[in-house]
Structure 1
Amino acid sequence: MRDIRHDGAITAFQQKRGGDAAAFFVPFLSPGMRLLDIGCGPGTITAALAESVGTAIGVDINPNAIASARQLAAHAGLTNLSFVEADMTALPFEDGAFDAIFCHAVLYHQSQAMLAKTLAEARRVLRPGGLLGTRDAVVGGNILHPEVDGVRLALDLWQRWYEHDDPEALRFGRRQSAVLRAHGFTPVWAGASYVNHSADAASRTEAVADARQSLLGLGPQLVGKSLATADEIETALAGWDAWGCDPDAVYFRCRCACIARKP
């Protein structure tokens, strides 16, 4: 079993939606805090959080993601923002080094063993009383109109992929409080929000382009593991094209969030 189920579409998506993804955590932050973003990807979310704290550091194991993040920080001129290439299960920081830690679209990709290691490391580098904010996927809360068969198939194909190793992977969002409590944290807040892929014509065009890119990238892996057929991939692609042509189409994707404290 692979420890992480991840593809490049996630990184591309994070590049576009940094501020929205971090909004729920901002009211809990203050200017003097030292914050760590675990699994930071291209750094957009870390940059958004940096505006609310004294120091923000992003870590990711992918060197290309870190290179992009450092370029973003340089262009933005954010002197309190830095990035480190590191494994989230072996963080290169001292015990209690951070006041706050953030994890976005990271934990539900992990096996149980890796999840335990990641949260143990997060707990180690977080000071007593420090905050951990998590935001992750949940299946069953999305809103779609019109109910295009091909789009429903596309959503099912993505679900097949993320659930083929772990049937509970896409239900992780709704279980975050219980998961964090089981790993030594005390949940203090929980909530949910929607990612809007249909605010206007440009958003719908972007959503179709992102969906196509993801399906074309994931398709060979789905077919190779007998999780889908080539015909299903084509039907899903056609479905997104049809959805994108409807000026009244909507797609709101649900995300659950949790904030917990280290005792």
Structure 2
Amino acid sequence: MRQRRHDGSVVEFQKKRGGEAAAFFLPFLAPDMALLDVGCGPGTITSAIAGSVGKAIGVDIEPHATAAANQLAGILGLTNVAFVEADMIALPFGDATFDAVFFHAVLYHQSRTTLTRTLAEARRVLKPGGLLGTRDADVGGNILYPEFEGVHLALDLWQRWYEHGDPAALRFGRRQGCILRAHGFTPIWVGASYVNHSADAEARQEAVADARRSLLGLGPQLVNQALATEAEIQAALAGWEAWGRDPDAVYFRCRCECVARKD
């Protein structure tokens, strides 16, 4: 069995990636704040934010995610971070507990009912005047080169899947401000940045591997719902393989960002 490595380079990479994801929110934070990171996953972002606040708590519904997050916090020697297994629509915290709540790549794929309940919970646990930071995808801002037909097909397949439930889902990022306003928050800042999946050869191969896992996992569901054919799935896989072999290939994935205040 391959052992998980936690040498200095791996930890620094995890900190850097988490810091980039939360960079837009950091200027709004202060050392005396308590922050909640909802849908924290393995804790890279929560751990990166911890240095800017007094206390940071990450919650995730998956126990393996919170276990990995606690392990990372221990390796980094963080004493002001904790991770809790919890559902974002039923947070185990009292009213007005936090000064800030953060969502990264969490809200855009939620149903309208779940989104409403999640934002209601975030509003409940925020103190009056507390801050909400969101960073989510928007397919309209992605940058791709070379524009292989198979890669465009892969992106279209993902779009078909998300749009069959909600036609506006993949353009959630640009609508964050109006969505938050409709749920009792006042947007005070908006922006955008990119996730770079092509910084070097290793990053490109990781992007291809991620695309392959996603297509193979989603493929049967697309086919079963008549949203794609098996031939399209195979063509999309071939497109990503071709993209990964090009040493000048780029894929920059857009993330829209919003900071809002609890009214």
TM-score w.r.t. structure 1 length?
0.92
Structure 1 residue 21: Cα displacement: 1.1
Q: Which residue does the alignment assign to 1:7? A: none
Q: Which residue does the alignment assign to 1:88? A: 88
Distance 1:49 1:15 in 2: 9
Structure 1 residue 212: Cα displacement: 1.2
Amino acid aligned to 1:180? L
Q: SS at the partner of 1:124?
A: helix
Q: Which residue does the alignment assign to 1:189? A: 189
Distance 1:40 1:68 in 2: 11
Q: Which residue does the alignment assign to 2:164? A: 164
CA contact (8 A) 1:15 1:42 kept: no
Q: Which residue does the alignment assign to 2:122? A: 122
Provide Cα deviations, 1:180-219, integer angstroms capped at 9, x if missing partner. Answer: 0010001000001111111222221221111112112221
Q: SS at the partner of 1:95?
A: coil
Distance 1:16 1:236 in 2: 31
Amino acid aligned to 2:67? A
Provide Cα deviations, 1:56-100, integer angstroms capped at 9, x if missing partner. Answer: 001111122112212222222211111111111111111110011
Structure 1 residue 243: Cα displacement: 0.7
CA contact (8 A) 1:42 1:66 kept: yes
Distance 1:160 1:95 in 2: 39
Distance 1:244 1:29 in 2: 39
1:9-28 equivalences under 5 Å are 17-28=17-28
Q: SS at the partner of 1:147?
A: coil
Provide Cα deviations, 1:83-140, integer angstroms capped at 9, x if missing partner. Answer: 1111111111111100110001111111111111111110111011111000111121
Amino acid aligned to 2:44? T
CA contact (8 A) 2:15 2:48 kept: no
Distance 1:106 1:212 in 2: 22
Structure 1 residue 178 corresponds to structure 2 residue 166: no
Amino acid aligned to 1:22? A
Q: Which residue does the alignment assign to 2:251? A: 251
Distance 2:211 2:198 in 1: 13
Q: Which residue does the alignment assign to 2:9? A: none
Amino acid aligned to 1:229? T
Structure 1 residue 16: Cα displacement: 8.6
Q: SS at the partner of 1:17?
A: helix
Q: SS at the partner of 1:108?
A: coil
Structure 1 residue 36 corresponds to structure 2 residue 39: no
Q: SS at the partner of 2:141?
A: coil
Structure 1 residue 17: Cα displacement: 3.3
Distance 2:92 2:141 in 1: 37
1:48-87 equivalences under 5 Å are 48-87=48-87
- Count residues in correspondence: 250
Q: SS at the partner of 1:21?
A: helix
Q: Which residue does the alignment assign to 1:221? A: 221
CA contact (8 A) 1:119 1:183 kept: yes
Larger displacement relative to structure 2 (221-230 or 30-39): 221-230
Amino acid aligned to 1:75? I
Distance 1:224 1:68 in 2: 34
CA contact (8 A) 1:15 1:43 kept: no
Identical residues among aligned pairs (%): 76
Q: SS at the partner of 1:31?
A: coil
- Aligned pair in 2 of structure 1 residues 117, 24: CA closer, same or farther (>3 Å)? same
Unmatched 5+ stretches in structure 2: 1-13
